[in-house]
A and B are shown apart, each in its own frame.
Chain A
Amino acid sequence: MNNDFSKPQRESAFGIIIMGAHTMLKIGKASFFLFIIAFVKMSSTSFTYLILGISAIIVFSFIFAYLWYLKFTFFLDKEKQEFVVNKGIFNRDQVIIQLDKIQQVNINQNILQKIIGVYGLKIDTAGAHGEEVSIKAIDETSAYNLREHLLNRRAATEVQSEIEHENNKTEETPFLRISAWTLFKVGLTSNYGQSLALLAAFFYTVIYEGRQLLDAFKINKDEIQSTVTGMLTIVTVFILIACLLMVLLIINLVRTFYKYFELEISEHKNTLLLSSGLIAKKNTLISPNKVQITKYSQNYFQKKMNMLNMSLKQAQFGQSKKGHEMQGNTLEIPGCNPIERDELLKMILGQKLLKAKIFIPDWRFLNLPIFFKLILPVVAFLIIAFNVPEVKPYIGVSIAYFIIGTLMIYISYRRHRISVSQDFIIKTSGIWDISNEIVMPNKIQAITTFQYQWHKGVDVGHLTLHTAAGQIHFKYGNYTEIKQLVNYWLYQVERKNDNWM
Chain B
Amino acid sequence: MDYIQEGFKEALKLLIGFDKEVYGIISLSLIVSTTATIIASFLCIPLGIHLGLKEFKGKRAFSRILYTFMSIPSVIVGLVVAILLSRRGPFGKFDLLYTPKAMIIAQTLLVTPLILGLTYSLSKNRGKEIERIGQTLGGNKLDIIILIIKELKLDLMVNIVTAFSRAISEVGAVMIVGGNIRNRTRVITTTISMMNSMGDYPMAIALGIVLLIISFGINSLIYSYSGDD
A and B associate in one complex: no
A residues with CB within 8 A of B: none
